[in-house]
Amino acid sequence: MAFKGWKTTIEAGDHVIAYLTRESMSAILIKRDEVYNCRFGQFPHNDMIGKKFGQKMISHTGKGFMYLLHPTPELWTMVLPHRTQILYLPDISFISSFLDLKPGTRMIESGTGSGSFSHSIARTIAPTGKLFTFEYHKERADRAKQEFEEHGLGDLIQIEHRDVCKNGFGLEDEVHAVFLDLPAPWEAIGSAKKAFKTRRSGKICCFSPCIEQVTKTVSALNEHGFVDITMYECLSRPHDVKGYRILTVDDAIRQAKEKEAERERVRQENFLKRKRERDGDTTGEADTSSGTPTPKMDTVEEQAEMVPVSKTTTETHGHTSFLTFATFLPVQAKDESEANSV
C-alpha cells in the first residue's frame, strides 16, 4: 500500500486512517477477520474491505461511526507511534520548500527517528528521487525500515544504521539536499559537504531546539564554506472559526440596563425579605414584581445577529526548534577556474 500513491477502494493489506474526531485518529492495517475496537464501537475489517477511502462507516451497534481515510504523510505524522520527538507539519512544509525538494531530488536525512519527516520527503521526491536516511539507534532503524517497506516507500528510502557524527555518511557527489535533526549536527557538516553534488548548488537545514546548538552549527557551516546562512523559527497559530452573537453598541447598552434592572429587582426582593423577617411578618411573600415582566438576562444576546468570528487558540502547536539553512556552492571545475583566471 503506497503512501506516495492513491487508490479508491480499500483492500486487505491496506493502511486506513480511522478518523473518529479531530483529536482522535489512528492507523489500521486491514487484515481479514480482525476487528477494530474503540470507544465508538466495533468495526470489523471485513466490512471495511470494498469500501471507498473517505467513506463513513457505522459501528456494529449502529451507535458510533468513523471515517476511513486514505493514508498520507500528513495524517501519518498525526498518528504514528512516537519513538522519538518528531517533526510536525508546519516545520515539515517550511523545510521542504526551503530545501527545494521536488520529484527527483536526492537527499540525506539524519536521524530517522520515528520517520515522520521521512514519509513527507518520500512523497515529495517520488517517483525518481532518493532519500538516504541514517539512524544510529538499531531498534529505531529496524522499525523505520519495516514501516517504509510496509508503506510502499522501500524503493525511495534507503535506511542505514550508522553513527553519522563518528563515521560520516559515506556518500560523495550524490545529493542535492541535506537535513540534520541530530543533537550535534555540527559534527556531521563536514561529511555532509562531501555528499553534495559538486557541480551544482545544494541546500542544508539543521533542526535544533537550543540556540547554543545553532551557534555551533553556524560556526561549522561557515568553516566549511557554506553561504547564505539563515535561521528561522516556524510557529503555527490555528484559528478556530465559530458563530458568535455580536451585539451592536445600542444592544450592549440595552443589555447593561437590563442586567442592572435585574440586579436592582433582586436587591429589592432581598431587602423586603430581611425586613419581613425582622418585623416577624408571617403573612406571606410580598409581591415585588412590577407591572411589566423583567426580560431574561440573555434576551438581548439571543436576539443578536450570529456572525462567524475567528479566534486563535492560546496554545501554539508545533515542535519549536530553530531551523538553520545554508547553501552549498558548486565546486568550480579546474579547467573552468583556470579559464576564468586568464
305 has which bridge partners?
A: 246
Applying CB under 6 A, among 164, 204, 220, 326 the residue interacting with ligand SAM is: 164
Applying CB under 6 A, among 1, 25, 58, 86 the residue interacting with ligand SAM is: 86
Residue 40 or 148 having the CB closest to ligand SAM? 148
Contact call for residue 148 and ligand SAM (CB under 6 A): no
Given a contact cutoff of 8 angstroms between Cβ atoms, the answer to whether 98 and 325 are in contact is: yes
Contact call for residue 133 and ligand SAM (CB under 6 A): no
Closest separation in Å from C-beta 95 to ligand SAM = 10
Contact call for residue 135 and ligand SAM (CB under 6 A): yes
Residue 113 or 202 having the CB closest to ligand SAM? 113
Given a contact cutoff of 8 angstroms between Cβ atoms, the answer to whether 168 and 198 are in contact is: no
The annotated binding site is made up of 135, 181
Identify the three-state secondary structure at position 135: strand
Q: How long is the chain?
A: 342
Residue 45 or 162 having the CB closest to ligand SAM? 162
Closest separation in Å from C-beta 102 to ligand SAM = 20
Q: Give the interface segment with ligand SAM, choosing from 62-70, 132-140, 287-295, 326-334 (CB under 6 A).
A: 132-140
Residue 185 or 202 having the CB closest to ligand SAM? 185
Contact call for residue 85 and ligand SAM (CB under 6 A): yes
Cα distances from 86 to residues 90, 92, 207, 220, 306, in angstroms, run 12, 10, 11, 24, 40
Burial of residue 118 (CB within 10 Å: 0-12, 13-18, 19+) is buried
Selection from 76, 81, 102, 77 nearest residue 91 by Cα = 77
For residue 300, the number of C-alpha atoms closer than 13 Å in the C-beta half-sphere is 16
Residue 150 or 163 having the CB closest to ligand SAM? 163
Selection from 87, 72, 89 nearest residue 17 by Cα = 72
Contact call for residue 161 and ligand SAM (CB under 6 A): no
Positions in 170-189 near ligand SAM (CB under 6 A): 181-183
How wide is the angle at C-alpha 328 spanned by C-alphas 323 and 331, nearest 5°?
Answer: 170
Closest separation in Å from C-beta 78 to ligand SAM = 12
Selection from 107, 105, 161, 174 nearest residue 134 by Cα = 161
Contact call for residue 113 and ligand SAM (CB under 6 A): yes
Q: What residues line the site for ligand SAM (CB under 6 A)? A: 84-87, 110-111, 113-117, 134-137, 140, 163-165, 181-183
